[in-house]
Structure 1
């Protein structure tokens, strides 16, 4: 009688647990790295064989490749990330390719199979939340990955890099409060995203420091796009008791605020102060130049590349990096008169 028992998916962590070696050592043995002793390689290979483990195709690659998976690549935010990644990759003789697709939570289902076919050495996943099957596929092929600005709280053993979004929300709101504004509107990103929640929490915390309770009428949810920022700011600014300042959850949304203010005959900063978030290259060239919270996107991307390099070459890796945010004061905010 034929045995129809389905073989369970095996992960590198299973091999590491059984052999007593680290994930990095198992991955290096699997990929034929020279810095693994023959005894270690034989021990690991014996367990791999017993599990029926599939190793990568052994065709020689002349170049090492890392892949950046974006939800989309149609704005300057993504360009900043790519610029930083390419600059760091050059230092490590790595090539960078990009994948685009899916929605704001997850790329389309084809990305991972295409990545495996290309024999990618490592991946940076932007705004991605991985399924269990996808995690298993990456682990089983020994492909390290870093979540960039993760959608939710990353697992303890998942590499990630992000900005200090809570502090960014605090310093943006404190700046406006110091200028005398108390009716401060906020346009968040998608409410289910961790960075959006953290920036909103920073906003409400700064208000609480001044004894101000957050007004639900001044809190709107955007989608980090210019069109979303425009739509939400129109809603805020047409209210009878409109805000005197708006904290936009991204510079792209702040651009939408500028257009809404123009259409409504409001001057920035005389009638409305505006603070953005990200400090993309175009922020300094808006009219007036945008006051914003600097999220060091290029530095974050460079850190993500270095994490991949470390994951491919060493057992000592800092799994989570949170990079500082800072306020860049330009001309879109001023003291509230009267």
Structure 2
């Protein structure tokens, strides 16, 4: 059987009638290469079926066209959407995205970071598993925090406190005064900030004479947590007329529990979430929520890799109230 010859960069150079250095500049998307020459080399690459050896390039270069991403939980729909947007914007810059999960454990996060750094990425983006622990940032690779702040490195996040206040304002405008807030895990800054923003707005309105009966409880960012808490609360006398949650997953769990118990959403119970994951617009009734600007956060992160913004600078985005079918004017019955 004849052995199939591996096409090399020298073969491409010979086919295109250029030097090996010119082919390398084309592969690196060097803008100094004239368009006609760029197109000729690319035509040879396609015709010959040449596949660049990224590992070999990594040995010679400081970085390869790769961006690393570490998230706490790859099953969380919000992080899946974030990864999708980051991949899209990375691709616009001819970079691939490597995704890893820390499993919400800082020790595993450190291991994943070192594994990704072996690929010599352009940068590593991290949704920190524990913002109270510092991240060992390498000198030659940009590291940015997404969704959560960490001391010592730049972060790109939603303004969690101000955005959470939007949820309360919406419920108050609908006439709700007996409200349950389901917070997220206390060990995450996003959960604490959303709860603090919601409660701070309650206190502001109370100072203005608005009578609000607020109860706060906590749980995980999960369907099961929202379901379990709602079943317990809605089975008690004098249940709340509205439930606000720290995540859409919790809110969808609340809707499921309410349906099973026989509480009609939104006629008897208004529900509002946070994140605006894809499922929020699919569940029945469709979920009113606070949308995190995922595309804006992802674009800002990827643009940061290619501009002169200081590595330790922060960016903050405002959430948006998305009114769908799970909130309504409080029932007078």
* TM-score for the superposition, normalised by structure 2: 0.75
Does residue 93 (structure 1) correspond to residue 91 (structure 2)? The answer is: no
For 2:167 and 2:309, locate their aligned partners in 1 and report how far apart those are by CA, in whole Å. 39
Q: Which has the higher contact order (CA 8 A, sep 6+)?
A: 1
Does residue 154 (structure 1) correspond to residue 150 (structure 2)? The answer is: yes
Does residue 168 (structure 1) correspond to residue 163 (structure 2)? The answer is: yes
Question: In the alignment, which residue of structure 1 is the partner of 2:304?
Answer: 307
Cα distance per residue 1:229-254 (max 9 Å; x no partner)? 11122222222221110001111111
Aligned pair partner of 1:334 in 313, 328, 332: 328
Cα deviation for residue 118 of structure 1 reads 1.6
Cα distance per residue 1:153-181 (max 9 Å; x no partner)? 432x4110110111111110111111111
Aligned pair partner of 2:285 in 279, 285, 288: 288
For 2:150 and 2:64, locate their aligned partners in 1 and report how far apart those are by CA, in whole Å. 30
Q: Say whether the 8 Å CA contact 1:106–1:127 is kept in structure 2.
A: no
Q: Which runs of 5+ in 1 are unaligned?
A: 1-33, 35-56
For 1:268 and 1:308, locate their aligned partners in 2 and report how far apart those are by CA, in whole Å. 44
Aligned pair partner of 1:255 in 244, 249, 252: 252
Q: 1:286 to 1:96 in 2, by over 3 A?
A: same
Cα deviation for residue 62 of structure 1 reads 8.9
Task: Map residues 1-338 of structure 1 onto 2, 5 A cutoff.
Answer: 58-60=59-61, 63-103=64-104, 107-129=108-130, 131-132=133-134, 134-135=135-136, 138-140=137-139, 142-150=140-148, 153-155=149-151, 157-211=152-206, 218-310=215-307, 314=308, 316=310, 319-338=313-332
Larger radius of gyration: 2
Q: Say whether the 8 Å CA contact 2:105–2:130 is kept in structure 1.
A: no
Aligned residues: 273
Q: Say whether the 8 Å CA contact 1:89–1:305 is kept in structure 2.
A: yes
Q: Which runs of 5+ in 2 are unaligned?
A: 1-29, 31-57
The two structures, once aligned, show a CA RMSD in angstroms of: 2.5
Q: 1:201 to 1:61 in 2, by over 3 A?
A: closer
* TM-score for the superposition, normalised by structure 1: 0.74
Q: 1:304 to 1:71 in 2, by over 3 A?
A: same
